[in-house]
């Protein structure tokens, strides 16, 4: 079952949550959706298990991607909204863009794959192709679930494999983008051997729509080459084995109040919030901001000069989850003020 540790939302230690940025609020909602997806999936008896998981997991992914866009764009709400041109009285379309609204009059935000494309094309961020393929398969399962009930055993197995990879990808990007420490949660979905009646499920035949969905999943997986060393996956095989052990091989972990013990503080969240851009994102944003920008020696000299200012640049771990890993420079969006004095902004 899903553990309740950390259910107060304090997935990062050592920070007051009196005030949250917009990106953090959206990320919290994303995390809540993923936890709900896992909890539903791990219930002992839940007939609509795979369908509900797919719906909630896709919701979690969309919110995670939008939270990342907000983080990279100084929490500007317009970065994730849909805009449209309106027809003027003379029948021509307006040059001005207006916020698009739904039937109730609320503002529409961009969709899931528009968010992926925006991160890559507008901000120069990296979203691994394996992550996108995994989301596409999960979306196809979600879309099919809305129209009919998926009840075949083989399809359930595929959902488990795709869902397990999706949760793993989600945890990896949450840690990379937001420094989220999700160790207080049991972020895994349980094998079907613990959750369902397999002999009964195996005798239920495929219908035409389920067969087409399975064929689509098989084709997508066969066309994807996965690197075993990659942090991301399209699908993961789940193999459960039981082994008798005395427990002597496990290391002891102790909590101490010894004032002489080395203190450990996690402040990665603060760094990620203030310095979310890496070199690629910085260069992409500058190229879209200025009409005369060139990635040449003048740019690199100016960038190095600005890097010496702590308000603009901070060196931190490339992967917050690996304390002894490589370090990398990250930039505050405010660094554009330094470049504004040297380049011409686009109209």
pLDDT digits (tens, 9 = 90+) for 201-230: 333 444 566 667 677 777 776 777 666 667
User: Would the pLDDT of 35 be above 90?
Assistant: yes
Q: Which residues pair with 327 in a beta bridge?
A: 317
Tell which wins on pLDDT, 100 or 46. 100
pLDDT band for position 64 (cuts 50, 70, 90): very high
Backbone angles phi, psi at 11, to 5 degrees: -80, -10
* 320-326 CB contacts, 8 Å cutoff, 24+ apart: 320/175, 320/176, 320/179, 320/268, 320/272, 321/175
Tell which wins on pLDDT, 105 or 174. 174
pLDDT score for 170: 94
pLDDT score for 270: 64
pLDDT score for 235: 72
pLDDT band for position 257 (cuts 50, 70, 90): low
Calculate the average pLDDT of the chain: 78
Using alpha carbons, select from 238, 216, 48 the residue that is nearest to residue 161.
238
pTM of the model: 0.71
Most confident of 121-135, 140-154, 260-274, 303-317: 121-135
Q: Which sequence spans correspond to the domains of the chain?
A: 22-77+111-222, 275-340
pLDDT score for 60: 96
Q: Compute the distance between CA of residue 72 and CA of residue 66 in angstroms, rounded to an integer.
A: 10
* Percentage with pLDDT > 70 across the chain: 71
User: Would the pLDDT of 51 be above 80?
Assistant: yes
SS3 66: helix
Q: How far is CA 308 from CA 42, 110, 187, 269, 275, in A?
A: 50, 37, 39, 22, 14
């Amino acid at each position: 079952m899903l553990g309740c540790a950390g259910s107060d939302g304090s997935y990062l230690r050592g920070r007051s949550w009196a005030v949250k940025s917009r990106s953090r609020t959206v990320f919290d909602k994303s995390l809540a959706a993923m936890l709900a997806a896992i909890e539903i999936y791990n219930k002992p008896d839940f007939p609509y298990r795979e369908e509900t998981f797919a719906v909630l997991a896709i919701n979690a992914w969309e919110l995670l991607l939008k939270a990342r866009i907000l983080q990279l764009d100084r929490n500007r709400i317009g970065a994730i909204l849909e805009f449209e041109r309106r027809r003027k009285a003379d029948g021509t379309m307006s040059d001005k863009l207006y916020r698009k609204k739904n039937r109730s009059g609320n503002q529409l935000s961009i969709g899931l794959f528009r968010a992926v494309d925006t991160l890559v094309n507008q901000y120069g961020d990296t979203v691994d192709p394996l992550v996108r393929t995994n989301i596409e398969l999960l979306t196809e399962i979600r879309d099919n679930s809305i129209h009919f009930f998926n009840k075949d055993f083989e399809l359930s197995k595929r959902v488990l494999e795709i869902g397990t990879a999706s949760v793993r990808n989600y945890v990896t990007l949450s840690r990379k983008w937001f420094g989220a420490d999700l160790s207080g949660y049991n972020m895994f979905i349980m094998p079907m051997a613990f959750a369902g009646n397999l002999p009964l499920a195996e005798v239920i035949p495929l219908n035409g729509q389920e067969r087409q969905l399975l064929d689509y999943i098989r084709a997508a997986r066969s066309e994807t080459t996965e690197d075993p060393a990659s942090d991301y996956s399209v699908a993961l095989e789940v193999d459960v084995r039981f082994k008798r052990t005395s427990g002597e091989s496990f290391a002891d972990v102790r909590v101490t109040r010894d004032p002489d013990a080395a203190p450990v503080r996690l402040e990665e969240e603060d760094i990620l919030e203030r310095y979310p851009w890496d070199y690629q994102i910085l260069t992409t944003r500058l190229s879209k901001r200025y009409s005369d920008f060139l990635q040449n020696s003048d740019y690199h000299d100016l960038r190095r000069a600005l890097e010496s200012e702590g308000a603009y640049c901070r060196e931190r771990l490339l992967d917050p989850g690996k304390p002894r890993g490589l370090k990398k420079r990250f930039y505050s969006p405010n660094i554009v003020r330094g470049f504004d004095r040297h380049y011409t902004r686009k109209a």
